[in-house]
Structure 1
Amino acid sequence: MPTSTRIENQHLSIEVSSLGAEMQSATTRDGANWLWNGNAAFWTGRSPVLFPIVGKTPDDTLLVDGRSYSMAQHGFARRREFTLEAASATTCRYRLEASAETRAVYPFDFGLSVEHSLDGPALTIAATVENGGETPMPFGLGFHPAFLWPLPGGEGRPHVVTLDNGAEPLRQPLENGLLSQVRDPSPFDKGRLLLAHDLFEHDALVFPEGAGDGLTYAAEGGPALRFHFEALPNLALWTKPGAPFLCVEPWQGTAAEYGGARELKDRPYTTTLPAGESRRFAFTVTFPA
């Protein structure tokens, strides 16, 4: 059975489950929980870590060196039990390693460590991927945290996402969960996107390039969450229309393209890690103090 670890300081209290190393709650000192609660009526996820792929594969089948493997959307890490590797009052680190079970669907000797750490009102979630094998290892890595919409204290206010770089990145639509090979005009206006549920009638808003390394998700004139991304160049925003949450998803790697390459190493923005090396990916979210 999954267990959980709580870390906290004077600003924040965070609970993390051993199942998927997934954050379960993010509570500020005023008692407000800013994270989606996983209500199955909409979506059971809360803050899954996506590995070894982000998004879908054609027919839920992944090709590695021409060989087919069964792989569900967003990979298997979010459904696996992690081991608590280290914990302190303000930090916890969980780890998942390759096993006979994972090698049957992903033939690599990986290590995946997920660390949650607090610094004042800021939470950093970092994933470190290691290649313990003797051959290059392709993978995708992403984060999928869901925060309340409306934000606590922001009820009745318009909500906006504002990119730090003021850009208007092109959107790449999804077709049955796979990325279209066309790009649509940006819904951002000088870095600003006014949120509305009808934006998500055709699935997530995916911005493969140009969204930058930081943004703010806020209720206008009210509370705000500020994000910074490290080695995560792809961005998606997602909710189910009418659901009371917004996912702010920084990725390295995306879904396969519709009609595109089926090999894992040829998927858009795939990382190929040399034998014996590791790579770190992280995001920081700063809550109202």
Structure 2
Amino acid sequence: MPDIVRITSDELVAEISSLGSEMQSLQTTDGRDWLWNGDAAFWTGRSPILFPIVGKAPGNHIAVDGVPYEMGQHGFARRAEWVLADASTSTCRFELESSQDTLKTYPFAFLLSLTHSLEGHSLTVTAEVENRDSRPMPFGLGYHPAFLWPLPGGEGKPHTITLDNGAEPLLTRLEDGLVTRDKLPSPFSKGHLTLSHDLFEADAMIFAEGAGKGLTYAAEGGPSLKFAFDNLPNLALWQKVGAPFLCVEPWHGTAAEAGGSAEMAKRPYTTILPAGEKVRFTFSVLVTG
């Protein structure tokens, strides 16, 4: 069975599993839940980490220098058992290191660490990727946290997404799990979007560019979650249609393009990390209401 680590602040309590280093719950100290509970009737995920790809690969295969490797949707990190490297009252860090098993499907030596920390009303999650190989390492990394819809205390209220930058980013859709090259009109008006379940009948809404470095997910006149993103230029919003959750997904990298290459280095927004170097990707959430 996976190990569960519990961290706390004066205002929040979170639990993180060694399986996938996945957050299992996020509560305010009054007992209200903010994170989706993983009900299998809709979706068993709660807050998976996506690595070394975000989304799908053509035919579930990537290629590295022309050599094909089998790779399932969103990569393997979310289903791997991680090692607890450090923990305190308010912070924990799990690590995933390359192994003989990972090298069979992703031929690079790496160390991936994921740190969850709480301070007051804020949760901060930071992934650090280290290239331990002797050659540049291409990869994608993304977050996939699911929060309740409606938010606690927001029952019966319209729920909205408001971009900090007030932009109207163009919409990208998926075709058999791969991103299309067509850019559709933005559903945002001056950075504001009122959510409805029918928005997701065509699967996720992806905003590959222009969504900015922060947003607020809120019930009108009620509780809210304010997000900030660092080194995560792509944004997706997703739910199973009619399910009581919303995924707010900041990414660096997307699914491969429909009709495009399987090469890792040619996937949209791929990070190519030089040998011996490290890079970080961070998001934070401020819980109010």
Contact 2:10 2:119 (8 Å CA) reproduced: no
Superposed displacement of residue 242, structure 1: 0.6
Alignment partner of 1:104 is 2:127: no
Q: How does 1:197-216 map to 2 (within 5 A)?
A: 197-216=197-216
Describe the SS at the equivalent of 1:85.
Answer: strand
Superposed displacement of residue 265, structure 1: 0.5
Describe the SS at the equivalent of 2:168.
Answer: coil
State the one-letter code of the partner of 1:231: N
Contact 2:53 2:253 (8 Å CA) reproduced: yes
Superposed displacement of residue 99, structure 1: 0.2
Distance 1:133 1:113 in 2: 16
> Deviations along 1:12-54, whole A, 9 cap, x unmatched?
0000000000000000011101000000000000000000000
State the one-letter code of the partner of 2:98: A
Contact 2:137 2:273 (8 Å CA) reproduced: yes
* 2:196 matched residue in structure 1: 196
Q: How does 1:110-259 map to 2 (within 5 A)?
A: 110-259=110-259
State the one-letter code of the partner of 1:275: A
Superposed displacement of residue 280, structure 1: 0.3
* 2:55 matched residue in structure 1: 55
State the one-letter code of the partner of 1:287: V
Q: How does 1:276-287 map to 2 (within 5 A)?
A: 276-287=276-287
Distance 1:108 1:262 in 2: 17
* 1:87 matched residue in structure 2: 87
Superposed displacement of residue 98, structure 1: 0.2
State the one-letter code of the partner of 2:224: A
State the one-letter code of the partner of 2:288: P
Describe the SS at the equivalent of 1:78.
Answer: helix
Superposed displacement of residue 113, structure 1: 0.1
Alignment partner of 1:16 is 2:20: no
Contact 2:51 2:77 (8 Å CA) reproduced: yes
State the one-letter code of the partner of 1:195: L
> Deviations along 1:128-158, whole A, 9 cap, x unmatched?
0000110000000000000000000000000
Alignment partner of 1:73 is 2:73: yes
* 1:6 matched residue in structure 2: 6
Q: 4+ runs of 1 displaced by more than 6 Å?
A: none
Describe the SS at the equivalent of 2:27.
Answer: strand
Distance 2:109 2:119 in 1: 33
Distance 1:73 1:9 in 2: 34
Distance 1:270 1:242 in 2: 32
Contact 2:16 2:24 (8 Å CA) reproduced: yes
Distance 1:279 1:138 in 2: 12
Superposed displacement of residue 9, structure 1: 1.4
Superposed displacement of residue 10, structure 1: 1.0
> Deviations along 1:43-71, whole A, 9 cap, x unmatched?
00000000000000111011111011010
If the length of structure 1 is used for normalisation, what is the TM-score?
0.99
State the one-letter code of the partner of 2:186: S
Aligned length, in residue pairs: 289
Superposed displacement of residue 120, structure 1: 1.1
Superposed displacement of residue 72, structure 1: 0.4
Distance 2:271 2:97 in 1: 18
Backbone CA RMSD of aligned residues:
0.6
Q: Percent identity?
A: 64
Describe the SS at the equivalent of 1:202.
Answer: coil
Contact 2:169 2:207 (8 Å CA) reproduced: yes
